[in-house]
Amino acid sequence: MEIIEGGDLVKKSVIVKEYIVASLGVALTAVGVVTFLIPNNIAAGGASGLAIILHHYFKLPVGIWMYIINALLFLLAFLTVGFDFSVKTIYCTFLTTFFIDFFDRIVPIPKYHAGDMFIAVFFGSVITAVGMAITFTQNASTGGTDIVARILNRFFALPIGTTLLTVDVLIGITAGVTFGAKTGMYAILAIIMNGMMIDFAMKGIETSTLVMVISEKNDEIARFVLYDLQRGATFLEGKGAYTGKDRQILLIVLKRRELGELISFIRKTDKKAFIIVSEARYTFGEGFQNIHNVF
């Protein structure tokens, strides 16, 4: 299978796709925040959590507070660590704010008012986590306390993940002072659940499968991978330790959902094939993540 590289049209289509997918992730995040978190004062960290708290004291809409917070954070970052944020991150940060304000005030969507706070925490955390995970896979973020974590990392060499969690927990504690201890504990629970769900969702979205096949019919298997699964394959040279014979090893990387189809084909083609399947946590390159998305 030939791979076309470097074409301007291909590059533009990839960029457009990344922005569209990131925008969908941002919209989903906003739905989770507006439907479940804001109505129940669950300040689950981030700029939205801080905005919910500020809204309680100063009656500007949550979306307006988010505009102010994010603008101030970007200005602070510019003055302290330099302007090294991608255009996509800036775009997603303010698009998140726009969608939250849009769904909250301009074209209101249904909101879940606490009959059961745990339901609000659970669904709010799950929906926002899936949306954020989708955005992260496109090499963007939704800003907020991410910016604070990056500033502290630059000056004090504090781990970004630990710093981000600490800042968000402090926002949860502040929510407890503002709305009561019970609500504060639910906010911290939402922060923990959100972090866990983002990791879970990212793993489901990004994880690929590495398959190594030793077969007498590697050529047939390779053609199936190339032309039916539309994936790449590589022949590696090997030698059997026991037999001393030269063997070809077929190296394949594909999405987990495609594994069943490949195994089924190999089973029909060569029942004696030797197959090794393992998880590829990150895969960068054609057909997978953009190489520029490396952390």
Give the integer Cα–Cα distance in Å for 69 and 73.
6
Q: Which residues contact 290 (CB under 8 A, 6 or more apart)?
A: 14, 18, 139, 284
Lowest mean pLDDT among 22-31, 33-42, 118-127, 283-292: 283-292
Compute how many other C-beta atoms are within 10 angstroms of the C-beta atom of residue 82.
9
- Look up tokens 């978190």; give the residue: 37
> In terms of Cα–Cα distance, which of 224, 221, 209, 211 is closest to 270?
221
- Beta bridge partners of residue 214, listed in sequence order: 274
Identify whether 2 is part of a domain.
no
Question: Strand pairing partners for 253?
Answer: 210
Closest CA relative to residue 201, chosen from 147, 128, 257: 128
Regarding whether 240 and 144 lie in a shared domain, the answer is no
Q: Which amino acid is at 82?
A: G
DSSP at 4:
-
Nearest to 235 by CA among 216, 220, 249, 217: 249
Total domain count for the chain?
2
Q: Indicate if 262 and 192 belong to the same structural domain.
A: no
Residue 157 lies in a domain: yes
pLDDT in tens, 90-115: 899 999 999 999 999 999 999 998 67
Residues 135, 232 share a domain = no
Structural domain containing residue 201: 8-205
165 and 231 assigned to the same domain: no
205-213 mean pLDDT: 80
Dihedral sign from CA coordinates of 21, 27, 28, 30: positive
| Tokens 């074209």 -> residue | 107
CATH code at position 239:
3.30.70.120
Beta bridge partners of 48: none
pLDDT of 290 over the 70 cut: no
Query: Degrees (nearest 5) of the Cα angle 14, 204, 229?
Result: 60
pLDDT of residue 205: 65
**221-269: pLDDT as tens digits:** 999 998 888 888 889 988 888 888 888 899 998 877 778 888 888 988 9
- Residue 248, classed as helix, strand or coil, is strand
Does one domain contain both 87 and 230?
Answer: no
| Per-residue model confidence as pLDDT tens digits over 275-284 | 998 887 666 6
Residue 113 tokens read as: 């008012």
Are residues 289 and 180 part of one domain?
Answer: no
Q: Does residue 211 have a pLDDT over 70?
A: yes
CA–CA gap between residue 208 and residue 266 (Å, rounded): 19
pLDDT of residue 292: 53
Global pTM value? 0.71
**Domain stops at, among 165, 190, 205:** 205
Please say whether the beta carbons of 258 and 208 come within 8 A: no
Q: How far apart are CA 183 and CA 205, in angstroms?
A: 32
Q: What is the DSSP letter of 292?
A: G
Q: Residue 295's pLDDT is what? A: 45
Q: Does 199 lie in the same domain as 230?
A: no
